[in-house]
Chain A
Protein backbone atom coordinates (compact mmCIF):
# COMPACT_ATOMS: atom_id res chain seq x y z
CA UNK A 1 0.00 0.00 0.00
CA UNK A 2 1.32 3.42 -1.00
CA UNK A 3 0.22 6.04 1.49
CA UNK A 4 1.59 9.48 0.74
CA UNK A 5 1.24 13.18 1.15
CA UNK A 6 3.58 15.12 -1.11
CA UNK A 7 4.22 18.83 -0.59
CA UNK A 8 6.56 20.53 -3.03
CA UNK A 9 6.87 24.24 -3.74
CA UNK A 10 6.77 25.16 -7.41
CA UNK A 11 6.99 28.54 -9.05
CA UNK A 12 3.51 30.03 -8.78
CA UNK A 13 1.91 27.34 -6.58
CA UNK A 14 2.59 24.57 -4.11
CA UNK A 15 1.90 20.97 -4.96
CA UNK A 16 0.06 19.35 -2.06
CA UNK A 17 -1.35 15.96 -2.94
CA UNK A 18 -2.41 13.09 -0.70
CA UNK A 19 -3.02 9.68 -2.17
CA UNK A 20 -3.39 6.01 -1.32
CA UNK A 21 -2.90 3.17 -3.73
CA UNK A 22 -3.23 -0.39 -2.51
CA UNK A 23 -1.15 -3.28 -3.80
CA UNK A 24 -2.71 -4.54 -7.01
CA UNK A 25 -4.61 -1.29 -7.50
CA UNK A 26 -4.10 1.18 -10.37
CA UNK A 27 -4.69 4.91 -10.01
CA UNK A 28 -4.35 7.69 -12.56
CA UNK A 29 -3.15 11.24 -12.00
CA UNK A 30 -4.95 13.41 -14.48
CA UNK A 31 -4.73 17.10 -15.25
CA UNK A 32 -3.48 19.77 -17.61
CA UNK A 33 0.20 20.21 -18.42
CA UNK A 34 2.06 21.91 -15.56
CA UNK A 35 -0.53 20.95 -12.93
CA UNK A 36 2.08 19.18 -10.80
CA UNK A 37 1.37 15.55 -11.74
CA UNK A 38 4.94 14.71 -12.72
CA UNK A 39 6.24 16.48 -9.61
CA UNK A 40 4.23 14.08 -7.46
CA UNK A 41 5.69 11.09 -9.29
CA UNK A 42 9.24 12.49 -9.16
CA UNK A 43 8.90 12.97 -5.38
CA UNK A 44 7.57 9.44 -4.92
CA UNK A 45 10.41 8.01 -7.00
CA UNK A 46 13.02 10.10 -5.17
CA UNK A 47 14.11 12.08 -8.22
CA UNK A 48 13.00 15.18 -6.28
CA UNK A 49 12.86 15.70 -2.52
CA UNK A 50 9.50 16.92 -1.14
CA UNK A 51 9.49 20.05 1.00
CA UNK A 52 7.05 18.40 3.39
CA UNK A 53 4.74 15.44 3.76
CA UNK A 54 5.22 11.74 4.29
CA UNK A 55 5.59 8.84 1.91
CA UNK A 56 5.14 5.24 3.02
CA UNK A 57 5.16 2.07 0.97
CA UNK A 58 4.00 -0.87 3.08
CA UNK A 59 6.44 -1.02 6.00
CA UNK A 60 8.99 1.28 4.31
CA UNK A 61 9.17 5.00 4.99
CA UNK A 62 10.41 6.67 1.81
CA UNK A 63 10.17 10.18 3.26
CA UNK A 64 11.11 11.69 5.70
CA UNK A 65 14.03 11.18 5.79
CA UNK A 66 14.54 10.43 2.11
CA UNK A 67 15.27 6.73 1.67
CA UNK A 68 18.24 6.24 -0.70
CA UNK A 69 16.96 5.58 -4.19
CA UNK A 70 18.60 2.19 -4.54
CA UNK A 71 16.66 0.91 -1.52
CA UNK A 72 13.26 1.85 -2.98
CA UNK A 73 11.40 -1.07 -4.56
CA UNK A 74 10.04 1.25 -7.21
CA UNK A 75 9.87 1.15 -10.98
CA UNK A 76 9.80 4.57 -12.64
CA UNK A 77 9.22 4.94 -16.35
CA UNK A 78 9.01 8.26 -18.15
CA UNK A 79 8.57 9.24 -21.78
CA UNK A 80 12.36 9.18 -21.99
CA UNK A 81 13.28 5.48 -21.94
CA UNK A 82 16.70 6.33 -20.42
CA UNK A 83 18.35 3.14 -21.61
CA UNK A 84 22.06 2.84 -20.88
CA UNK A 85 23.55 3.52 -24.31
CA UNK A 86 26.84 1.72 -23.69
CA UNK A 87 25.08 -1.56 -22.90
CA UNK A 88 23.13 -3.87 -25.17
CA UNK A 89 19.44 -4.65 -24.73
CA UNK A 90 19.98 -7.78 -22.63
CA UNK A 91 22.42 -5.97 -20.32
CA UNK A 92 19.89 -3.18 -19.91
CA UNK A 93 17.09 -5.58 -19.00
CA UNK A 94 19.31 -7.45 -16.54
CA UNK A 95 20.81 -4.29 -15.03
CA UNK A 96 18.52 -4.30 -12.00
CA UNK A 97 19.36 -7.94 -11.33
CA UNK A 98 23.11 -7.44 -11.37
CA UNK A 99 23.45 -5.79 -7.99
CA UNK A 100 23.53 -9.06 -6.11
CA UNK A 101 20.39 -8.17 -4.15
CA UNK A 102 17.36 -8.30 -6.42
CA UNK A 103 15.85 -11.67 -7.17
CA UNK A 104 15.16 -12.80 -10.70
CA UNK A 105 15.15 -15.85 -12.81
CA UNK A 106 15.98 -16.75 -16.38
CA UNK A 107 12.36 -17.84 -16.91
CA UNK A 108 11.11 -14.45 -15.88
CA UNK A 109 13.57 -12.65 -18.15
CA UNK A 110 12.63 -14.98 -21.02
CA UNK A 111 8.95 -14.24 -20.44
CA UNK A 112 9.54 -10.48 -20.51
CA UNK A 113 11.64 -10.83 -23.65
CA UNK A 114 8.99 -12.85 -25.42
CA UNK A 115 5.90 -10.89 -24.40
CA UNK A 116 7.49 -7.54 -25.14
CA UNK A 117 8.86 -8.85 -28.44
CA UNK A 118 12.42 -7.75 -27.87
CA UNK A 119 14.09 -11.08 -28.64
CA UNK A 120 15.16 -9.96 -32.10
CA UNK A 121 17.08 -6.99 -30.70
CA UNK A 122 18.33 -8.79 -27.56
CA UNK A 123 22.02 -8.33 -28.34
CA UNK A 124 21.79 -5.01 -30.17
CA UNK A 125 23.35 -1.91 -28.60
CA UNK A 126 20.70 0.13 -26.81
CA UNK A 127 21.63 3.27 -28.74
CA UNK A 128 20.87 1.54 -32.05
CA UNK A 129 17.21 0.61 -31.49
CA UNK A 130 14.09 2.63 -32.33
CA UNK A 131 12.11 4.77 -29.89
CA UNK A 132 9.25 2.25 -29.68
CA UNK A 133 11.66 -0.63 -29.06
CA UNK A 134 13.45 1.45 -26.43
CA UNK A 135 10.17 1.94 -24.57
CA UNK A 136 9.56 -1.85 -24.55
CA UNK A 137 13.09 -2.49 -23.29
CA UNK A 138 12.68 0.13 -20.57
CA UNK A 139 9.45 -1.56 -19.48
CA UNK A 140 11.16 -4.97 -19.39
CA UNK A 141 14.09 -3.52 -17.42
CA UNK A 142 11.73 -1.99 -14.88
CA UNK A 143 9.60 -5.13 -14.46
CA UNK A 144 12.60 -7.47 -14.25
CA UNK A 145 13.07 -6.42 -10.63
CA UNK A 146 9.42 -7.06 -9.75
CA UNK A 147 8.88 -3.65 -8.14
CA UNK A 148 6.21 -3.16 -5.49
CA UNK A 149 5.25 0.26 -6.81
CA UNK A 150 5.29 1.26 -10.48
CA UNK A 151 5.21 4.92 -11.49
CA UNK A 152 4.53 5.70 -15.14
CA UNK A 153 4.95 9.30 -16.24
CA UNK A 154 3.39 9.74 -19.69
CA UNK A 155 5.04 6.53 -20.86
CA UNK A 156 3.14 6.41 -24.14
CA UNK A 157 3.72 9.91 -25.50
CA UNK A 158 5.14 9.97 -28.99
CA UNK A 159 4.20 6.36 -29.72
CA UNK A 160 1.77 5.19 -32.40
CA UNK A 161 -1.68 3.94 -31.35
CA UNK A 162 -0.87 0.34 -32.18
CA UNK A 163 2.15 0.29 -29.90
CA UNK A 164 0.29 2.15 -27.15
CA UNK A 165 -2.42 -0.53 -27.23
CA UNK A 166 0.20 -3.27 -27.01
CA UNK A 167 2.01 -1.67 -24.11
CA UNK A 168 -1.20 -0.98 -22.22
CA UNK A 169 -2.19 -4.65 -22.59
CA UNK A 170 1.26 -5.76 -21.39
CA UNK A 171 1.19 -3.44 -18.37
CA UNK A 172 -2.34 -4.54 -17.45
CA UNK A 173 -1.32 -8.19 -17.67
CA UNK A 174 1.76 -7.82 -15.49
CA UNK A 175 -0.08 -5.58 -13.08
CA UNK A 176 -2.57 -8.38 -12.51
CA UNK A 177 0.21 -10.97 -12.31
CA UNK A 178 2.68 -9.17 -10.05
CA UNK A 179 0.20 -7.19 -7.95
CA UNK A 180 2.21 -3.99 -7.70
CA UNK A 181 0.62 -0.66 -6.84
CA UNK A 182 0.39 1.33 -10.07
CA UNK A 183 0.29 5.10 -10.45
CA UNK A 184 0.08 6.54 -13.95
CA UNK A 185 0.32 10.14 -15.12
CA UNK A 186 -1.07 11.14 -18.47
CA UNK A 187 -2.93 14.06 -19.95
CA UNK A 188 -4.92 11.73 -22.22
CA UNK A 189 -7.99 10.56 -20.28
CA UNK A 190 -8.75 7.87 -22.81
CA UNK A 191 -5.33 6.24 -22.40
CA UNK A 192 -5.40 6.62 -18.64
CA UNK A 193 -8.88 5.10 -18.31
CA UNK A 194 -7.71 1.95 -20.12
CA UNK A 195 -5.22 1.19 -17.32
CA UNK A 196 -6.68 2.83 -14.23
CA UNK A 197 -10.27 2.35 -13.04
CA UNK A 198 -10.01 5.51 -10.93
CA UNK A 199 -8.13 8.79 -11.02
CA UNK A 200 -7.19 11.88 -9.10
CA UNK A 201 -7.76 15.11 -11.04
CA UNK A 202 -5.12 17.75 -10.24
CA UNK A 203 -5.14 21.47 -10.86
CA UNK A 204 -2.35 23.80 -9.73
CA UNK A 205 -0.96 21.17 -7.40
CA UNK A 206 -4.24 20.28 -5.63
CA UNK A 207 -6.59 17.35 -6.03
CA UNK A 208 -9.85 18.84 -7.24
CA UNK A 209 -11.70 15.56 -7.67
CA UNK A 210 -11.14 11.85 -7.31
CA UNK A 211 -13.08 8.74 -8.16
CA UNK A 212 -14.07 6.46 -10.98
CA UNK A 213 -13.94 7.82 -14.52
CA UNK A 214 -17.70 7.68 -14.96
CA UNK A 215 -18.18 9.87 -11.89
CA UNK A 216 -15.53 12.33 -13.07
CA UNK A 217 -17.11 12.56 -16.51
CA UNK A 218 -20.64 12.82 -15.15
CA UNK A 219 -19.92 15.68 -12.80
CA UNK A 220 -16.52 17.31 -13.31
CA UNK A 221 -15.58 19.52 -10.36
CA UNK A 222 -14.09 22.39 -12.36
CA UNK A 223 -14.59 23.91 -15.82
CA UNK A 224 -11.01 22.99 -16.75
CA UNK A 225 -11.56 19.37 -15.80
CA UNK A 226 -14.77 19.36 -17.84
CA UNK A 227 -12.81 20.64 -20.83
CA UNK A 228 -10.06 18.05 -20.38
CA UNK A 229 -12.59 15.21 -20.13
CA UNK A 230 -14.76 16.36 -23.03
CA UNK A 231 -14.38 14.42 -26.28
CA UNK A 232 -12.60 16.27 -29.10
Chain B
Protein backbone atom coordinates (compact mmCIF):
# COMPACT_ATOMS: atom_id res chain seq x y z
CA UNK B 1 0.00 0.00 0.00
CA UNK B 2 2.79 2.39 0.96
CA UNK B 3 4.72 1.42 -2.17
CA UNK B 4 1.68 2.09 -4.34
CA UNK B 5 1.19 5.48 -2.68
CA UNK B 6 4.85 6.27 -3.34
CA UNK B 7 4.37 5.28 -7.00
CA UNK B 8 1.35 7.57 -7.23
CA UNK B 9 3.36 10.45 -5.79
CA UNK B 10 6.12 9.71 -8.28
CA UNK B 11 3.67 9.72 -11.20
CA UNK B 12 2.07 12.98 -10.06
CA UNK B 13 5.50 14.59 -9.77
CA UNK B 14 6.39 13.24 -13.22
CA UNK B 15 3.29 14.70 -14.84
CA UNK B 16 3.37 17.90 -12.78
CA UNK B 17 4.90 20.02 -15.60
CA UNK B 18 1.61 19.56 -17.51
CA UNK B 19 -0.01 21.70 -14.81
CA UNK B 20 1.72 24.57 -16.56
CA UNK B 21 -1.06 24.43 -19.16
CA UNK B 22 -3.39 25.84 -16.51
CA UNK B 23 -1.00 28.59 -15.33
CA UNK B 24 -2.53 32.11 -15.11
CA UNK B 25 -0.65 33.64 -18.03
CA UNK B 26 -3.56 35.77 -19.17
CA UNK B 27 -5.96 35.16 -22.07
CA UNK B 28 -4.46 32.79 -24.67
CA UNK B 29 -3.72 34.51 -27.93
CA UNK B 30 -4.54 32.24 -30.87
CA UNK B 31 -2.22 32.97 -33.74
CA UNK B 32 -4.67 32.00 -36.48
CA UNK B 33 -3.04 31.33 -39.82
CA UNK B 34 0.45 31.69 -38.37
CA UNK B 35 -0.16 28.87 -35.86
CA UNK B 36 -1.89 26.74 -38.46
CA UNK B 37 1.04 27.30 -40.83
CA UNK B 38 3.58 26.14 -38.24
CA UNK B 39 1.47 23.06 -37.48
CA UNK B 40 1.12 22.25 -41.18
CA UNK B 41 4.85 22.69 -41.83
CA UNK B 42 5.78 20.48 -38.89
CA UNK B 43 3.29 17.71 -39.64
CA UNK B 44 3.79 17.57 -43.40
CA UNK B 45 7.58 17.78 -43.38
CA UNK B 46 7.86 15.36 -40.46
CA UNK B 47 5.60 13.00 -42.40
CA UNK B 48 7.95 13.17 -45.39
CA UNK B 49 10.94 12.64 -43.11
CA UNK B 50 9.28 9.57 -41.57
CA UNK B 51 8.73 8.03 -45.02
CA UNK B 52 12.44 8.48 -45.72
CA UNK B 53 13.34 7.09 -42.27
CA UNK B 54 11.24 3.96 -42.83
CA UNK B 55 12.36 3.38 -46.43
CA UNK B 56 16.06 3.76 -45.61
CA UNK B 57 16.03 2.55 -42.03
CA UNK B 58 14.09 -0.71 -42.35
CA UNK B 59 16.51 -2.49 -44.73
CA UNK B 60 19.41 -1.26 -42.57
CA UNK B 61 17.74 -2.65 -39.43
CA UNK B 62 17.10 -5.98 -41.19
CA UNK B 63 20.71 -6.20 -42.27
CA UNK B 64 22.14 -5.34 -38.85
CA UNK B 65 19.71 -7.58 -36.96
CA UNK B 66 20.72 -10.62 -39.03
CA UNK B 67 24.47 -9.92 -39.17
CA UNK B 68 27.13 -11.59 -37.02
CA UNK B 69 27.63 -10.40 -33.44
CA UNK B 70 30.91 -8.68 -34.22
CA UNK B 71 29.61 -6.87 -37.29
CA UNK B 72 26.43 -5.92 -35.47
CA UNK B 73 28.40 -4.25 -32.66
CA UNK B 74 30.21 -2.14 -35.22
CA UNK B 75 27.01 -1.00 -36.92
CA UNK B 76 25.33 -0.26 -33.61
CA UNK B 77 28.28 1.88 -32.58
CA UNK B 78 27.81 3.89 -35.77
CA UNK B 79 24.08 4.26 -35.16
CA UNK B 80 24.65 5.31 -31.57
CA UNK B 81 26.87 8.17 -32.69
CA UNK B 82 23.98 9.69 -34.61
CA UNK B 83 21.68 9.23 -31.60
CA UNK B 84 24.10 10.62 -29.05
CA UNK B 85 25.15 13.74 -30.97
CA UNK B 86 23.83 16.82 -29.11
CA UNK B 87 21.16 18.42 -31.35
CA UNK B 88 22.83 21.80 -31.47
CA UNK B 89 26.13 20.20 -32.44
CA UNK B 90 24.37 18.14 -35.10
CA UNK B 91 22.77 21.28 -36.51
CA UNK B 92 26.12 23.04 -36.76
CA UNK B 93 27.77 19.96 -38.29
CA UNK B 94 24.93 19.57 -40.82
CA UNK B 95 25.11 23.21 -41.87
CA UNK B 96 28.89 22.85 -42.35
CA UNK B 97 28.72 19.46 -44.08
CA UNK B 98 25.98 20.64 -46.44
CA UNK B 99 27.39 24.17 -46.61
CA UNK B 100 28.78 26.03 -49.63
CA UNK B 101 32.30 24.66 -49.11
CA UNK B 102 31.16 21.05 -49.06
CA UNK B 103 28.25 19.06 -50.50
CA UNK B 104 26.07 22.18 -50.54
CA UNK B 105 27.91 23.64 -53.55
CA UNK B 106 27.25 20.48 -55.53
CA UNK B 107 23.58 20.36 -54.55
CA UNK B 108 23.23 24.07 -55.31
CA UNK B 109 23.99 23.31 -58.96
CA UNK B 110 20.73 21.37 -59.06
CA UNK B 111 18.83 24.12 -57.29
CA UNK B 112 18.79 22.27 -53.98
CA UNK B 113 19.32 24.79 -51.18
CA UNK B 114 20.39 23.23 -47.91
CA UNK B 115 19.72 26.18 -45.63
CA UNK B 116 16.34 27.53 -44.54
CA UNK B 117 14.33 25.46 -46.99
CA UNK B 118 11.86 22.59 -46.63
CA UNK B 119 14.61 20.32 -47.95
CA UNK B 120 16.96 21.40 -45.15
CA UNK B 121 14.11 20.84 -42.68
CA UNK B 122 13.44 17.30 -43.89
CA UNK B 123 17.12 16.35 -44.11
CA UNK B 124 17.73 17.59 -40.56
CA UNK B 125 14.70 15.73 -39.23
CA UNK B 126 15.81 12.57 -40.97
CA UNK B 127 19.29 12.83 -39.43
CA UNK B 128 18.01 13.42 -35.90
CA UNK B 129 15.54 10.55 -35.94
CA UNK B 130 16.77 7.74 -38.19
CA UNK B 131 19.19 6.35 -35.59
CA UNK B 132 16.35 5.99 -33.08
CA UNK B 133 14.20 4.22 -35.65
CA UNK B 134 16.91 1.80 -36.78
CA UNK B 135 17.96 0.88 -33.22
CA UNK B 136 14.32 0.38 -32.24
CA UNK B 137 13.63 -1.68 -35.35
CA UNK B 138 16.68 -3.88 -34.62
CA UNK B 139 15.29 -4.53 -31.12
CA UNK B 140 11.93 -5.42 -32.69
CA UNK B 141 13.58 -7.81 -35.15
CA UNK B 142 15.52 -9.45 -32.32
CA UNK B 143 12.19 -10.72 -31.07
CA UNK B 144 11.64 -12.73 -34.26
CA UNK B 145 13.52 -16.03 -34.35
CA UNK B 146 15.62 -16.47 -37.50
CA UNK B 147 14.44 -20.12 -37.40
CA UNK B 148 10.94 -18.95 -38.30
CA UNK B 149 12.28 -17.03 -41.28
CA UNK B 150 14.32 -20.08 -42.30
CA UNK B 151 11.21 -22.27 -42.17
CA UNK B 152 9.27 -19.69 -44.15
CA UNK B 153 11.88 -19.72 -46.89
CA UNK B 154 12.13 -23.52 -46.94
CA UNK B 155 8.36 -23.54 -47.37
CA UNK B 156 8.86 -21.79 -50.68
CA UNK B 157 8.56 -18.11 -49.82
CA UNK B 158 11.16 -15.61 -51.02
CA UNK B 159 12.78 -13.05 -48.69
CA UNK B 160 10.20 -10.35 -49.44
CA UNK B 161 7.26 -12.68 -48.83
CA UNK B 162 8.85 -13.97 -45.61
CA UNK B 163 9.28 -10.40 -44.39
CA UNK B 164 5.63 -9.50 -44.99
CA UNK B 165 4.13 -12.79 -43.82
CA UNK B 166 6.36 -13.64 -40.86
CA UNK B 167 8.87 -11.01 -39.81
CA UNK B 168 6.73 -7.90 -40.02
CA UNK B 169 3.58 -9.30 -38.37
CA UNK B 170 5.65 -10.58 -35.45
CA UNK B 171 7.66 -7.36 -35.09
CA UNK B 172 5.02 -4.83 -36.05
CA UNK B 173 4.47 -3.36 -32.61
CA UNK B 174 8.20 -2.97 -32.11
CA UNK B 175 8.36 -1.23 -35.48
CA UNK B 176 5.49 1.03 -34.39
CA UNK B 177 7.33 1.91 -31.17
CA UNK B 178 10.50 2.65 -33.14
CA UNK B 179 8.61 4.82 -35.62
CA UNK B 180 6.79 6.67 -32.86
CA UNK B 181 10.10 7.45 -31.16
CA UNK B 182 11.48 8.73 -34.45
CA UNK B 183 8.29 10.75 -35.00
CA UNK B 184 8.40 12.49 -31.65
CA UNK B 185 12.15 13.02 -31.89
CA UNK B 186 11.73 14.57 -35.31
CA UNK B 187 8.61 16.63 -34.64
CA UNK B 188 9.97 18.15 -31.45
CA UNK B 189 13.48 18.83 -32.75
CA UNK B 190 14.62 22.36 -32.04
CA UNK B 191 18.38 22.51 -31.51
CA UNK B 192 19.42 21.24 -34.95
CA UNK B 193 16.47 22.72 -36.86
CA UNK B 194 17.04 26.22 -35.50
CA UNK B 195 20.50 26.14 -37.12
CA UNK B 196 19.67 24.54 -40.46
CA UNK B 197 16.04 25.52 -41.08
CA UNK B 198 14.93 28.53 -39.07
CA UNK B 199 12.59 29.03 -42.00
CA UNK B 200 10.13 27.54 -42.77
CA UNK B 201 9.25 27.72 -39.08
CA UNK B 202 7.77 24.52 -37.73
CA UNK B 203 6.15 24.26 -34.32
CA UNK B 204 9.30 24.23 -32.14
CA UNK B 205 10.80 27.29 -33.84
CA UNK B 206 7.41 29.07 -33.91
CA UNK B 207 7.06 28.39 -30.18
CA UNK B 208 10.43 29.95 -29.57
CA UNK B 209 9.82 33.03 -31.71
CA UNK B 210 6.32 33.52 -30.25
CA UNK B 211 7.76 33.34 -26.76
CA UNK B 212 10.47 35.83 -27.65
CA UNK B 213 8.19 38.26 -29.49
CA UNK B 214 4.81 38.02 -27.80
CA UNK B 215 5.22 36.24 -24.47
CA UNK B 216 3.43 33.29 -22.88
CA UNK B 217 -0.20 34.04 -23.97
CA UNK B 218 0.90 33.67 -27.60
CA UNK B 219 2.76 30.45 -26.87
CA UNK B 220 0.12 28.47 -24.99
CA UNK B 221 -2.23 27.54 -27.89
CA UNK B 222 0.65 26.34 -30.04
CA UNK B 223 2.10 24.51 -27.05
CA UNK B 224 -1.18 22.64 -26.61
CA UNK B 225 -1.34 21.73 -30.31
CA UNK B 226 2.31 20.70 -30.12
CA UNK B 227 1.61 18.28 -27.27
CA UNK B 228 -1.52 16.91 -28.92
CA UNK B 229 0.31 16.13 -32.16
CA UNK B 230 3.55 14.84 -30.65
CA UNK B 231 2.33 12.63 -27.81
CA UNK B 232 -0.59 10.38 -28.87
CA UNK B 233 1.22 8.25 -31.48
CA UNK B 234 4.19 7.18 -29.33
CA UNK B 235 1.99 6.88 -26.26
CA UNK B 236 -0.46 4.57 -28.01
CA UNK B 237 2.31 2.49 -29.60
CA UNK B 238 3.96 1.96 -26.21
CA UNK B 239 0.69 1.04 -24.53
CA UNK B 240 -0.10 -1.51 -27.28
CA UNK B 241 3.40 -2.95 -27.07
CA UNK B 242 3.16 -3.29 -23.29
CA UNK B 243 -0.23 -5.00 -23.62
CA UNK B 244 1.27 -7.47 -26.03
CA UNK B 245 4.20 -8.24 -23.74
CA UNK B 246 1.80 -8.62 -20.80
CA UNK B 247 -0.17 -11.21 -22.80
CA UNK B 248 2.91 -13.13 -23.95
A→B interface (CB under 8 Å):
45-47, 68-70, 72, 74-76, 78, 80, 82, 84-86, 95-96, 99, 101-102, 141-142, 145
Contact = CB atoms under 8 A, between A and B. Distances in A.
Interface stretch (B149-157, B175-183, B184-192): B149-157
Contacts of A78: 147
A223 to B, nearest CB: 35
26 contacts: A45-B154, A46-B153, A47-B150, A69-B154, A70-B154, A70-B156, A70-B157, A70-B158, A70-B159, A70-B162, A75-B154, A76-B151, A82-B145, A82-B147, A82-B150, A82-B151, A84-B148, A84-B151, A86-B169, A86-B170, A95-B157, A95-B165, A96-B156, A99-B157, A102-B156, A145-B156
Interface residues of B, number: 19
Contacts of A69: 150, 153-154
B88 interface: no
Interface string B134-177: 00000000000101101111111111011001100110000000
A79 to B, nearest CB: 11
Nearest to B166: A84
B161 A99 contact: yes
Given A47-B150, A82-B151, A142-B155, 19 more contacts: A45-B154, A46-B154, A68-B153, A70-B153, A70-B154, A70-B156, A70-B158, A74-B154, A75-B154, A76-B150, A84-B152, A84-B166, A85-B170, A95-B152, A95-B155, A95-B157, A99-B157, A141-B155, A145-B155
Per DSSP, chain B at the interface is: helix
Interface of B: 145, 147-148, 150-159, 161-162, 165-166, 169-170
A85 B169 CA distance: 10
A147 B198 CA distance: 62
Contact of B154 (A76, A80, A84, A86): A76
| Most-contacted residue by chain B among A47, A76, A82, A102 (CB, 10 A) | A82
Q: Which 3 A-B pairs have the closest CB atoms?
A: A96-B155, A69-B153, A99-B156
B90 to A, nearest CB: 38
Nearest to A127: B248
Contacts of B170: 85-86
A75 B165 CA distance: 19
Contacts of A46: 153-154
A72 B154 contact: yes
B31 to A, nearest CB: 47
A45 B151 CA distance: 10
| Most-contacted residue by chain B among A68, A74, A99 (CB, 10 A) | A99
A76 B161 CA distance: 19
A101 B157 CA distance: 9
A145 B165 CA distance: 18
Contacts of B145: 82
A95 B150 CA distance: 13
A207 B18 CA distance: 72
Contacts of B156: 70, 96, 99, 101-102, 145
